[in-house]
Structure 1
Amino acid sequence: MAATSFAERFSGLVPIQLKGLLLSILLLIIALNAAAQGVVVQGTVQSGQDSLSLPGASVLLYKVTESGTAPTPTATATDIDGNFRFEQVAAGAYTLKINYIGFKLFSRAVKVAQQPVNLGPLKLLEESTTMREVEVIGRVALGEQMGDTTQFNAAAFKTNPNASAEDLVQKMPGISIEDGKIQAQGEDVMEILVDGKRFFEGDVEAALRNLPAEIIQNIQIFDKKSDQAEFSGFDDGNRAKTINIVTKPDRRKGSFGQASAGIGTDNRHMLGTSVNFFDNDRRITVTGVRNNINMADYSIGETPGGGMRGRSGDANGLITTSRLGVNFSDEWADKVELSGNYTINHREVDQAQLLRQNFMIASDSGRVYTENSNSQNEQLNQRFRMRMKYQMDENNEILFKPRFTLNKGNATSYFLGNTFNNQGPINQTENNVNSESNSLNLESDIHYRHRFKKQGRTFGTSLNNQYNSSRGDNYRIADNIFYAGEQQRTEQLNQFRDNRGTGYSWEASFSFTEPVGDSARMQLEYQVSNRSDDSERLTYNLAEITGDYTLLDTLFSNSFRSDYLTQEVELGYQYNTKKLRFQVETEYQRADLQNDQRFPEPYNMERTFHSVLPSAELDYRFSKTKNIRIDYRTNTSAPALSQLQNVIDQSNPLHLRMGNPNLRQSYQNRISMRYSNFDEQTNKVFYMGVRGSVTNNIITNSTTVAEAPIRLSEDVVLEQGSQLTRPVNLQEANWDLRTYFNYGFPVNIISSKLSFNGAVGHTRRPGMVNENINISNATNFRLGVSVSSNISEEIDFNISTRSNYNLVLNTLLPDRNNNYFNQSTSARLNWIFLKGFVYRTELNHQANAGLAAGYDNNFTLWNMSISKKLFDREQGEISLSVNDALNQNNNIRRNVTELYVEDVQANILQRYFMLTFTYSLRHFAGR
């Protein structure tokens, strides 16, 4: 079948029926385009001292009548740039009031006529404080709810003098660290802002660890809309849980940071620094670390050498890291915002691992695979990200975001794998591999947005380009033994594999919003994109006569190209009032997938998919502090290039893998609901949520376990007991459902925060084993409790425990159903005593039940240090620390698939002592 040209495919993308639908949509928008009443009132809230913007300020607009000021105002909050905007304001006299913690109440009379009102910068004056004897009654307010933003008062939470922002936010209700990630209100935090400006460009952990808690005035938590949604006012559903750190006005100009050097037993060492240079809008952060104690980065408030904070970096293996990073942000002439970072990272990883897989195969109920492996891996990574926003005027802006990533690596590895059942050994493989790899990824986004004179009418367009290339060389020697059958057989593989790949993709979009009456808007959006991937995988066997790898193995070689072209047309409607926001959208998508195999045999395949993708969102605010949000989305997902390539992967000769060029896209329905309540009077926080997805036509694995030898080609036989896995589409739906809650409140008796959290999750994943469908059902129950101190700066502790109970059920082999239990308990204490002495300790206990025999089920990790502050201002500190004092640390995890239940244990850093010197820098303008 001849491949059609891009122009021919593109011209046929929009059928006649769709063209008629688009014409009808445009006529409908014109018909609904009623003249909106009222005008826009807008302005910018800034600090009167340094003219910095104040995000999250509460802005109230009161109508003035003959009888006085209306009791119920129209309210909004400033965005990350301090801007506020009221639309559809009727003509008349108004009073504008602005509230912001730490500043005096601002009030101004505003007169609205027929023209838009731009109040420009509005300067707020700081509250003056007179030191006098006062009587303290009650507790300092933790914070307040400001529209969709929850704001906490940093002064209400006690931390040690050298604490980081990460230490501070963990004390706040609804914020926790789950599996190494910062979560707020049950969702992963995706962005950190400082005074409304991006900080560390999406690297949440680094952003929080490189800011000292002492410079923070407020912490704000909200769902940040996309740049397009913030500009147009039409929510596109792309939101990111965001923390905005509002700094104290007198801490916005200065230099602050920390540096450490340590030496320990077993040749352990560490050098690290993190320094910030702040000059109002201009912020530069330099970080660097060199260590062999598994620290992935270095940050303010760190206590190196003792593994404190429960996050000493990657848990698997022994890791040596050299890392240097620069983060920057600035603003020029109130028109250009620039931010970005550059990181170069070199890692050496020495890893040993033991795994055991219990298979769900009805014909072989006692089948088990075990593997012992070790590897040495060296990686050099460079990454650059930048974001530049040019505000041409109040109605036009350009956003440009370039990025690149460069990776280079080499590795040597060895593994010994064995398969056996109740009757004895089935097969064995012993592999030695040497490999080198290089990859490059370039990407750029450019957006242009325009706001028309008519309120609510906007236009936006964007173009994304992405290019990637990769190359890898792989040398492998494998000795295989096959015990099954009438006669034992052995084979040796000595191969060289050359992998090369390039990919290019682009996406263009156009959107137009139009007001419909006073409270509604419509949006029409069109998007077209194309992804082209070209891959070549050539495998050569060793020619014994010449000693070179010149014998091309066509079964394990492939040259392949894939093109995925999509077009989408979307119509949306949004209704928005003070309490209710409702939005519904319908998208028509046409996707064309074309696969062209050039080698070893020519093969072409073209498929066209038509999809209707509806979405809806409901946001209702019961009161100032209570709200509920329900969100429904649909999407499609195309198969990856590696899943499409019809070539056998022999990385493990006992477990062969290959692609499937006949794969189709999958279709997913997602729904989420979240309810939250923050009581400002009692400082109680409660939130709960439900998230679920159903994926139809899912791409999953089909595994064939050879009960007798299966000839794959003239040269390759799938021996008895070996397995071949390839991706397929299944009609059986994949289900993923999770519900969670958190309830936190202050405990006055011990001046601490107590919180309870829990979750129930269920995953239903289908797969195929020997042409039989197996449904793996995994259910998880989690319950946890934590206590975080708020006593004083001298005593800081946190105690938490979390229990997980898991049920694993399988339809194909019920007697392999498995239940297992895990409990994680931790306690952390920082205690400043006598004159400048500091004791830090962290205790983590892991209890496991139900794992495979031979795996350590319980262990206790105990880290601690004793330190002494030095110099007049206590800027220096010398400490002696011990990591894993009981020498019990280990690393165990369980993975559940549709084919097997797997237990994995890897080597990990264990006991060592370290002597460390740390110096803290704190210098602010005027202090």
Structure 2
Amino acid sequence: MKRLFTFFLMLVAVAQAYGQTTSVSGSVQSAADNTALPGANVVLTRTSDATKSVTATDGEGRFRFERVAQGQYTLEINYIGFQNFSRKVQVAGKPVELGQLMLQDGATAIKEVQIIGRAPLGEQKGDTSQFNAKAFKTAPDASAEDLVTKMPGVTVQDGKIQAQGEDVQQVMIDGKRYTGEDVNSAVRNLSADMVESVQVFDGQSDRASFSGFDDGNRVKTLNFVTKKELRHGYAGKASAGYGTDDRYMVGASVNYFKGDQRITLTGLTNNINMFDFSIGETPGGGMRGRRGWGGGSPDGIIKTNTFGLNYNDNWGKKMEVGGNYNYSGRDVVNNQYRFRDYVNSDTSYTENSLNQDISDSHRFNFRLQYNINENNRLLVTPRLTVERTQSFTSRNATTNAEGNELSNSLNSDDTDNASLYFSNNILFSHRFGDSGRILTTELNTSYNSTEGDTYQLEDTRNLVEPERDVTRNQYLNLDRSNLAWSGNLDYSQRLGEQSRLQLEYNIRNQQNDADRRTYDYVESENAYNDFNSPLSNTFQSDYLAQSFGPSYQFRSDKANLQLNARYQYATLQGERIFPEDYTLKRSFTNVLPSAEYEYKFSKSRNLRINFRTSTDVPSVEQLQNVLNISNPLQPRIGNPSLDQEYQNRLYMRFRNFNAETNQVFYMGIFGTMTQNYITNSIYTRDIPFELPESYTYRPGARFYRPVNLDGYWSVRSFFNYGQPVNFISSNFNMHGSVGYSRTPGMIDELINYANNTNFRLGLNISSNISEKVDFNVFTNGSYNIVKNTLRTNQNSNYYNHSTNLRLNTILWKGLVYRTELRHEYNSGLSAGVDNSYVLWNMSLGKKIFKNQRGEISLSVNDLLKQNVSINRNIASDYVEDVQSTVLQRYFMLTFTYNLRKFFSGEAPDMEDEGGRGQWRGRH
């Protein structure tokens, strides 16, 4: 009882301490046009002991310091391009609201510095790397993509923009999110000469931003801060071209800016493998506009029609909105050659296929944030996707063993699917005045459905037992739906000036309903009337998970620490009707710890360590115990006994940005270890599960069934070093990585570990000479070591090296020459696969009209006609090489017109030698 009384007294003392602290808040804006300044560095220093608190303004220019003790303080604000701001602040017992703090234009000071020497690259502000766009010279018609890929730590890997070793997943303009899912489109449709600075940071989730506690859901983010004088007007480009082999392209992109309002319109129709339109490229003569869905040059011959609208604005002083609509129609024709070498035997698989996919999709995204008052915020983010896909695949496949052909299969799939996806997230946060308490609630709902018809034909020749040849003509009807919802309730309370405690409760539910029915063709009735029960399946599943636990957070000038622990209880129930009744009931209990630690050695150097755990439930396709023979030589069947995966993730990252020498260095380590990893169990003989009586075995076929295995882990380290090279007026970057993955799999009840070690090293030199000479040279080498624990004689090493050159130069009086040269070298690939090629694109253009707004250009794609597409895939039981159809040589004549008008000052004329550098004397 005495201890309890003492504990009570301590609680009272702590509560009294709360009353002695308060908050300091305000917003930072430009004095020239009253626009918000996101990412400004704000420092609050206590006069008595020089204790500092540091923060950065959010996307609306706001900042807030919590747990500020009474006393005299100095508030300092600095932001690139503006004069430093300083002000005395007296903190008493009430919250201090400083209102709008105006920063004066610092153009004169910056100009003086730049006359003396080179413009500074930028600076490191905590987790944010901020680069000065003036320090990177680009061509007059360059896009923001051309600009950022010259910056240290930013590269393009497999067609995706990466920053500090991670894929960029979010783009912001002046602190406002570019609403939409296509990062590349956002970066390519903003002109480089509109950018003042670029910020690179790890964007937190909306929930973490509202609650103040990091939930681990971070995405690499680029924020483009535009020039203040260019925030009222429009800029864009329109192009039209026609070429040999009936190649055509018509596209346009226009950005409209008016204060907080941003509107982007894009449109494109073409048959030259362009998925989006880039204002920084003359279509027909470059590779950058033709990247696939996941990055890299797209395979096949592709016709595309797209239209997009992106909108961002403030509705009044309290409401921020953003919306996006995108229509995309594609027709892809692709022939592929595939050679697969299996691990556990001398069996191999060869396939030649013809694929055609026709798709139409409509995507809507909306975002509304309502800042009700100082203590209440509401965020609503609905999404809707409607899509129809028609696909046809014709496949000629063979299996071989020791040089002898076992079977030959000719089969085809003709599919027509319609799908719908809708989701909505509602997030609300309430701050209990100045008590230090915050309540955050979140409700997320989603629904998706797919309905489709598939017609399958098969003619398989059994060369071992000819009497067991197979012919098949079937119709499959698929009806699948998923309904999911989740809720979060977070309550946090400060424990002192530097620490907080949060309690979190989470509940989520996912309901799946899958109905797959197969019918055989009845020739006498000329219809698909014979119901095939063994190849049909009706499966319903219900997954419910609940978690609860505390989080502790400590923040100081030098170090930040966050500790979390969750107890999770989950149940999985399932019921199957076809091909036979089956009931599934499973339960799971887990403890999910996580932690994050950050230490700031100085303003420019910091270290972050993050550890996370999570679980992942099997998909309905993995649980369905029904035989899928769409590929007769690689049939698949589900496993209703699967457990959920348990994942451990660890990453460490170190940053150093020396603003005096302009040297930038990043390094990091990412690691993942998964228990109950869902992988494939492959059977070539003695199949342990029952197959339908109607199924006929095909020689050399391999049966795939998902199972849980321990032993998966992967680790990857990377580094990036960059600095200016003054004697050639260029920027130098070097990046590299070492990765290792260990993937378990089961082959005929024997466990195989596929070990893949990867070494990468890349060099990049980008010009900083003038706007008339813009080049970028980058070379990457990748060496892979593949080792399997079964049949070690099939281990292999292979090497890939890619060298790229991009050159954009103004030769004489508006005569523009562009060239893109790419050399790809591969060694260690399968026989019959082209190992290397040279892809050379170029164009010669002439600027026309007043201010050189127009251009006529003649371009050639793949001048040497060597373009090929080669991919190597590594799995737990095989290594395969895939060669696909690609777009080869054609010539195109293109007309391009630049649209630009700014009401606070005209954009620079294209013939100005200074280009970006002479605009309004800002440089």
TM-score, normalised to structure 1's length?
0.94
**In the alignment, which residue of structure 2 is the partner of 1:768?**
746
AA matched with 1:458: I
- Shift of the alpha carbon at 1:137? 2.8
Query: Within 5 A, what are the aligned runs for 1:240-389?
Result: 240-309=219-288, 311-313=290-292, 314-361=297-344, 365-389=345-369
Distance in 1 separating the partners of 2:47 and 2:556 = 21
- Of the structure 1 ranges 186-195 and 54-63, higher mean CA displacement relative to structure 2 is found in 54-63
| Whole-angstrom CA distance in 2 between matches of 1:287 and 1:119 | 41
1:327-350: CA deviation from partner (whole Å, max 9, x where unpaired): 000001111100020001100011
Per-residue Cα deviation, 1:228-268 (whole angstroms, up to 9, x for no partner) = 22233222222222111111110000011000000000000
1:157-176 to 2 correspondence within 5 Å?
A: 157-176=136-155
Going from structure 1 to structure 2, the CA distance change for 1:791 and 1:721 (only over 3 Å counts) comes to same
Aligned equivalents of 2:775 and 2:368: distance in 1? 41
What letter is aligned with 2:857? S
| Per-residue Cα deviation, 1:182-220 (whole angstroms, up to 9, x for no partner) | 111111112111111112434321111111011111111
Does the 8 Å CA contact 1:59/1:98 hold for their aligned counterparts? Answer: yes
Aligned partner of 2:418 in structure 1 is: 438
Q: Which amino acid aligns with 2:618?
A: P
Query: Take 2:71 and 2:10, find their aligned partners in 1: how far apart are those partners?
Result: 33
1:19 matched to which residue of 2? none
Whole-Å separation in 1 of the counterparts to 2:834 and 2:120? 47
Separation in 2, partners of 1:522, 1:29 = 14
> 553, 558, 568: which is aligned to 2:547?
568
Tell me the distance in 2 between the aligned counterparts of 1:26 and 1:632.
34
**Which residue of structure 2 aligns with residue 410 of structure 1?**
390
The alignment covers a number of residue pairs equal to 894
Q: Does 1:755 align with 2:723?
A: no
Alignment of 1:434-833 (within 5 A): 434-485=414-465, 487-706=466-685, 712-730=691-709, 732-833=710-811
2:197 aligned partner: 218
For structure 2, the residue ranges without an aligned partner over 5 or more in a row are 1-6, 906-923
CA shift for structure 1 position 551: 0.5
Give the match for residue 230 of structure 1.
Answer: 209
> In 1, distance between residues paired with 2:718 and 2:107?
43
- The one-character-per-residue Cα deviations of 1:533-580 (angstroms, maximum 9, x if unpaired) are 001000000112101101111111011101100001021111111110
Write the distance in 1 (CA, Å) between the matches of 2:595 and 2:421.
35
Alpha-carbon deviation of 1:412?
Answer: 2.0
Pair 1:103 & 2:82 matched? yes
Per-residue deviation, residues 789-831 of structure 1 (Å, max 9, x unmatched): 1111000111111111111111111111111111011111101
Over 3 Å counting, the alpha-carbon distance change for 1:660 and 1:82 in structure 2 is same
Measure, in 1, the Cα distance between the counterparts of 2:168 and 2:821: 26
Measured at CA, do residues 32 and 818 of structure 1 come closer, stay the same or move farther in structure 2, by a change above 3 Å?
Answer: farther
- Change in Cα spacing, 1:29 to 1:398, as seen in structure 2 (3 Å) is farther
Percent identical among aligned pairs is 49
2:17 aligned partner, one-letter code: A
Structure 1 unpaired stretches of 5+: 1-24
| Secondary structure, aligned partner of 1:663 | coil
Give, in whole Å, the separation in 1 of the partners of 2:259 and 2:467. 75
1:35 equivalent in structure 2: 17
- Find the residue that maps to 1:136 and give its secondary structure: helix
Aligned mates of 1:850, 1:526 — CA distance in 2: 52
Given the superposition, is the C-alpha separation of residues 524 and 553 from structure 1 closer, same or farther in structure 2, using an over 3 Å criterion? Answer: same
Does the 8 Å contact 2:23/2:434 carry over to 1? no
Q: Does the aligned pair in 2 maintain the 1:308–1:841 contact within 8 Å? A: no
Give 1:625 deviation, angstroms: 0.7
Q: Deviations over 1:602-623 (max 9, x none)?
A: 1101010000011111100111
1:851 & 1:383 partners in 2: Cα distance? Answer: 39
TM, length-normalised to structure 2: 0.94
Distance 1:887 1:441 in 2: 42
What is the DSSP-based 3-state SS (H/G/I as helix, E as strand, rest coil) of the residue aligned with 2:115?
coil
Matched letter for residue 463 of structure 1: L
Counterparts of 1:735 and 1:75, CA distance in 2: 38
Contact 2:153 2:165 in 1 (8 A): yes
- Letter aligned with residue 627 of structure 2: I
1:905 to 869, 874, 883: 883
Match of 2:918 in 1: none
Match of 1:890 in 2: 868
Structure 2 residue aligned with 1:835: 813
- CA apart distance, 1:227: 2.0
The question of 1:91 aligning with 2:70 is answered yes
Structure 1 counterpart SS, 2:851:
coil
Confirm or deny: 8 A CA contact 1:234 1:521 kept in the other structure: no
**Cα pair distance change 1:107/1:749, threshold 3 Å:** same
Alignment partners' CA distance in 1, 2:550 and 2:126: 28
Per-residue deviation, residues 259-302 of structure 1 (Å, max 9, x unmatched): 00000000000000000111110111000000000000102112
Asked whether the equivalents of residues 22 and 434 of structure 2 are also in contact (C-alpha less than 8 Å), the reply is no
- Is residue 2:33 matched to residue 1:50? yes
TM-superposition CA deviations, 1:109-164 (whole Å, max 9, x none): 32221100001111222236499999933321111122222111111111111111
- Relative distance call for 1:61 and 1:169 in structure 2 (3 A) is same
* Structure 2 residue identity aligned to 1:827: L
Q: CA RMSD in A?
A: 2.1
- Amino acid in structure 2 at the alignment position of 1:137: I
- Give the AA of the match of 1:160: A
Give CA deviations for 1:71-106 in whole Å, capped at 9, x if unaligned. 664332211211111222222333323222222332
Are residues 29 and 553 of structure 1, via their aligned partners in 2, closer, same or farther at CA, if it must alter by over 3 Å? Answer: farther
Q: Give distance in 2, aligned partners of 1:223 and 1:479.
A: 53
CA–CA separation in structure 2 for the residues paired with 1:706 and 1:33: 71
Q: How many Å separate the matches in 2 of 1:640 and 1:347? A: 28
The 1:134–1:143 alpha-carbon spacing in structure 2 relative to 1, beyond 3 Å, is: closer
Contact 2:337 2:883 in 1 (8 A): yes
Give the whole-Å Cα distance in 1 for the aligned partners of 2:651 and 2:291.
Answer: 34
CA 1:521–1:711: 2 relative to 1, 3 Å: closer
Q: 2:553, 2:562 within 8 Å by CA — same for their partners in 1?
A: yes
Distance 1:452 1:494, change over 3 A: same
The answer (yes or no) to whether the contact 2:230–2:904 under 8 Å persists in 1 is no
User: In 2, distance between residues paired with 1:899 and 1:608?
Assistant: 31
Corresponding letter in the other structure for 1:405: T
Question: Could you tell me how far apart the structure 2 residues matched to 1:502 and 1:618 are?
Answer: 41
Counterpart residue type for residue 566 of structure 2: E
The alpha carbon displacement at 1:683 in A equals 0.5
**Hey, what's the Cα distance between the residues in 2 that align with 1:632 and 1:552?**
51
Change (3 A) 1:670 1:546: same
Letter in 2 for 1:371: E
Structure 1 residues 766-802: Cα deviation after superposition (integer angstroms, max 9, x where no partner):
1111111111111111111111111110001111111
CA–CA separation in structure 1 for the residues paired with 2:410 and 2:8: 66
SS class of match (1:315)? coil
Q: 1-side partners of 2:645 and 2:261: how far apart?
A: 46
Change (3 A) 1:116 1:134: closer
Structure 1 contact 34–517 (Cα < 8 Å) conserved: no
After TM superposition, the structure 1 stretch with the greater mean CA deviation from structure 2, 694-703 or 319-328, is: 694-703
| Counterpart Cα distance in 2 of 1:520 and 1:355 | 57
Change (3 A) 1:546 1:80: same
Instruction: Measure the CA separation in 2 of the matches of 1:435 and 1:201.
Output: 29
